[in-house]
Chain A
Amino acid sequence: MKTKKYLKVYGKFLHTSLASELEYKTNILIDLFTAILSLIGSIFLLSIFFQNNGRIGGWEFEQALIIQGIYTILNGITNTWFNPNLTEIVKHIREGTLDFVLLKPIDSQFFISLKKLTPSGFLEIILGVFLLLYCIKINQINFNLSFLILSLTTIICSICILYSLWFFISSTTIWFVKTWNATEVLRSFLYIGRFPLNSFSFSLRIFFSIFIPIVFITTIPSEVFLGLSQLWKILLEVIVAMVFLFTSRKFWLFALRFYSSASS
């Protein structure tokens, strides 16, 4: 019953978001153009890095393209869902419009995480998928069921980790009111995820594995693509994703106790 209701509400979210975005046709066209240029620019940058060295951190250019493909998909998801919704949390809290969300008989996290959507991000997701399919071909990857399950699992876990980190930072707005910069830093760290983890120094690798788990977001799914990943790493990513999701949920509910609403 609840699932049916939430699916129905999500259907309405999709409808209203698309209708809102379609009000501004030029903006959509610019966004689509930007997405294509951004991918071309990223591949060009990557090719420059590999021009003199055949391998970086043990990865060849064709292999590094897999990371770029996963990054493009994640960036597409970020632009489609996370950016329009999670940055809005700060606005909701600053302006007190979170009041309307909290007084609706629906889960507030569901509402503020999924209400909006930017359709131009879909193009990035599609481009990312095509890039990955191209990588499967040039790297002669054996495309079978276990490969599909493992790669999808790790990509979904990456999405969960990224979402949780972002949502966690946005939730702190309840105390700090303005946390735009923190989410921008997170996006910058995601850019780092375009490069293989092994291309960084030991101390940076530790930092990106433990403190900001970028390694889990792009490198592990890429290793799965290349058949390089060990089972313990995949299990670890699943556990990390679950812990992050659970913690961000609990943190949100805890933070709401301190919500004081904006003055009228």
Chain B
Amino acid sequence: MDKHTIEVKNLSKSFNISAKEPGLKGTIKHFFKRQTKSLKVIKDISFKIKEGEIIGFLGANGAGKTTILKMLCGLIYPSEGSIIVSGYLPYRRKENFLKNISLIMGQKQQLIWDLPPIESFYLNASIYDLDKFEAKKRIKKLAEMLEIGEELFIPVRKLSLGQRMKSELLAALIHEPNILFLDEPTLGLDINAQRNLRKFLQKYNNETNATICLTSHYMKDITSLCKRVICVHNGSITYDGELDLLLKKLSPVKEILIVCSSEEDANQLENSGFNVKNKTKNEITIIIENNSITSSLKKILNNFDIVDLFINEPPIDEIIGKILIKKKL
């Protein structure tokens, strides 16, 4: 039986929020008589995460993904329910628990702004009780994995966003945590930097079997790293399972572009009972359900003279977009 690193049961979180009416009148009213109300941002959620899993949390802005991550790493107290991470109650923030986890936030930084990243690494190493020799060894290893070198000796303020993010990762991983919480780690990075970061995370997971919980609005992060996703909508879990299954469920069809040898063949194919999306000369696009794709293709290849054929998945962003706004999946 697989060991569960994270177990969450009936977890809820409420915040006291004060709302302000617009305009001067609203401002004065807000100043003298502030009306606060309790808002339940996480509603009775339960899930388990196995050791070594990479889980993606999906949801629109304000759905509650970051709040869940912050409760998992012990930053905020849950209002109801229980969380156990690596056998610890996270909000107690015990030393051994903290030595086992790391939180990386794409929009916040811990590196010392005026100094080269290497100084922050050694500071973190001393906080995590690492001697200089061990710290040096780990910095070298992680720097190789992240493909950074000279940047470690340049003041943080002079680094590009991509270089800074890599350095942030190194600072957060110097203690070799077994559980990583990543909150939009690729935010603002260019395509190459995003790809490199994903490559690194996959490698880190393969080498250390670390459990990774990830939130991101870049769908490529989720699709290339996570087999399993948890969809959050208004503080509730709407889906918890394999990403592939979810995609199939939300998009049960594929588009197939067929290039026939002649226009005549294309005309015959158009009239053979398939669901045709469009047709131009000898090219025809048909829509086929996922469960009949093999048999349909066999039939087409046997009966028509085909020059070329392209199977297109519906755009992933379009499918994920559906997830973000759906209450039930």
A103-123: CB near B (< 8 Å → 1, else 0) gives 111100000000000000000
Inside 8 A of A8's CB, which chain B residues have their CB? Answer: 126
Instruction: Name the interface residues of B108-128: CB closer than 8 Å to any CB of A.
Output: 108-110, 112-115, 119-120, 122-124, 126-128
Query: How far is B76's CA from A84's CA once the two chains are assembled, in angstroms?
Result: 26
Nearest-neighbor residue (CB-CB) of B125 within chain A: A12
Cβ contact within 8 Å between A12 and B76: no
> Which residue, of B99, B109, B115, has the highest number of chain A Cβ atoms within 10 A?
B115
Interface flag for A138 (CB, 8 Å): no
Cβ of B75 within 8 Å of any chain A Cβ, yes or no, is yes
Question: How far, in Å, is B229 (CB) from chain A's closest CB?
Answer: 19
Q: Closest residue of chain A to B96, judged by CB? A: A105
Using an 8 Å CB-CB cutoff, how does the interface string of A220-264 with B read, 1 for contact, 0 for none?
A: 000000000000000000000000000000000000010111011
A184 is an interface residue with CB less than 8 A from chain B = no
**Hey, which chain A residues are within 8 Å of B73, CB to CB?**
103
CB-CB under 8 A from B76, the residues of chain A are 259-261
Nearest-neighbour CB distance to chain B for A137, whole angstroms, equals 42
Q: Is A34 an interface residue (CB 8 A)?
A: no
* Cβ < 8 Å to B, chain A residues 36-50: none
> Contact: A102 with B112, CB < 8 Å?
no
Which residues of B are found within 8 Å of A261, using beta-carbon distances? 70, 75-76
Partner of B108 from the list A16, A97, A259 (CB cut-off 8 Å) is: A97
Task: Return the chain B residue nearest A8 by Cβ.
Answer: B126
Cβ contact within 8 Å between A264 and B66 = yes
Asked if A139 is at the interface of the complex by the 8 Å CB criterion, the answer is no
Contacts of B223 in A (CB 8 A): none
Q: Which residue of A lies closest to B113 (CB)?
A: A20
- Interface membership of B134, Cβ < 8 A: no
Q: Could you tell me if A19 and B98 are in contact, using CB atoms closer than 8 angstroms?
A: no
Given contacts A19-B119, A261-B75, contact A99 B70 (CB under 8 A): yes
Contact status A99-B114, CB under 8 Å? no
Taking the closest CB of chain A, its distance from the CB of B86, in whole angstroms, is 14
Whether A60 sits at the interface, judged by CB under 8 Å, is no
Q: Is B103 an interface residue (CB 8 A)?
A: yes
- B211 to chain A: closest CB distance in Å? 16
A95 vs B105: C-alpha distance when bound (angstroms)? 12
| B-contact 0/1 string along A1-42, CB 8 Å cutoff | 000010011011101100110011000000000000000000
Residue B74 interfacial (CB < 8 Å): yes
A96, B114: Cβ atoms closer than 8 Å? no
Judge whether B176 is part of the interface by a CB distance below 8 angstroms. no
Chain A 73-105: CB-based contact to B (< 8 A → 1; otherwise 0)? 000000000000000000000011101101111
Any A CB within 8 A of the CB of B107: yes
Q: Which chain A residue has the least Cβ–Cβ distance from B93?
A: A102
Q: Is the CB of B114 within 8 A of A95?
A: no
Residue of B nearest to A15 (CB): B119
Residue from A5, A100, A263 whose CB has the most chain B CB atoms within 10 Å: A100
Q: Say yes or no: A264 contacts B75, CB within 8 Å.
A: no
> Is B153 part of the binding interface, using a Cβ–Cβ cutoff of 8 Å?
no
B183 CB within 8 Å of chain A: yes
Q: A20-B114, A102-B75, A264-B66 are in contact. Are A96 and B108 (CB under 8 A)?
A: yes
| Interface flags, B294-327, vs A, CB<8A=1, else 0 | 0000000000000000000000000000000000
> Closest chain A residue to B66 by CB distance?
A264
Report the minimum CB–CB distance from A177 to chain B (whole Å).
Answer: 11
Quick one: CB contact mask for B52-82 with A, threshold 8 Å, 1 for yes? 0000000000000010001001111100000
A104 touches which of B98, B113, B120, B155 (Cβ 8 Å): B98
Contact of B119 among A5, A16, A103, A264 (CB under 8 A): A16
* In the complex, chain B residues whose CB is within 8 Å of the CB of A106: 127
Q: Which residues of A contact B102 (CB under 8 A)?
A: 103
Is B11 in contact with chain A by the CB < 8 A criterion? no
**Identity of the chain B residue whose Cβ is nearest the Cβ of A13 in the assembled complex:** B123
What residues on B are CB-neighbors of A100 within 8 Å? 103, 108, 110
Q: With the chains together, A13 CA to B127 CA distance in Å? A: 11
Q: Which residue of A lies closest to B111 (CB)?
A: A100
**Docked-complex contact B75 and A259, CB < 8 angstroms:** yes
Closest residue of chain B to A10 (Cβ to Cβ) is B126
Query: When chains A and B are docked, how far (Å) is the Cα of A104 from the Cα of B125?
Result: 11
Q: Does B101 contact A (CB under 8 A)?
A: yes
Question: When the two chains form their complex, are residues A264 and B115 in contact, meaning their CB atoms are under 8 A apart?
Answer: no
Would you call B183 and A264 a contact (CB within 8 A)?
yes
A264→B184 contact, CB < 8 A? yes
Contact residues in A for B107 (Cβ distance below 8 Å): 264
- Whether A103 and B184, one on each chain, are in contact in the complex, defined by CB atoms closer than 8 angstroms, is no
- What residue of chain B has the Cβ atom nearest to residue A257's Cβ? B77
Contacts of A11 in B (CB 8 A): 126
> Complex formed: what's the CA distance from A200 to B36 in Å?
43
B218 at the binding interface (Cβ < 8 Å): no
Structural contact, B112 and A16, CB atoms closer than 8 A:
yes
Q: Which chain B residues border A24 with CB–CB below 8 Å? A: 114
B residues with a Cβ closer than 8 A to A are 15, 66, 70, 73-77, 93, 95-96, 98-99, 101-103, 105, 107-110, 112-115, 119-120, 122-124, 126-129, 155, 183-184
A-B contact pairs, 8 of them (CB 8 A): A8-B126, A16-B119, A20-B114, A100-B108, A103-B74, A105-B96, A259-B75, A264-B183
Extra inter-chain contacts (11) besides given A16-B119, A103-B102, A264-B105, CB under 8 Å: A16-B112, A16-B123, A23-B155, A24-B114, A99-B103, A105-B98, A105-B99, A105-B129, A259-B75, A264-B66, A264-B107
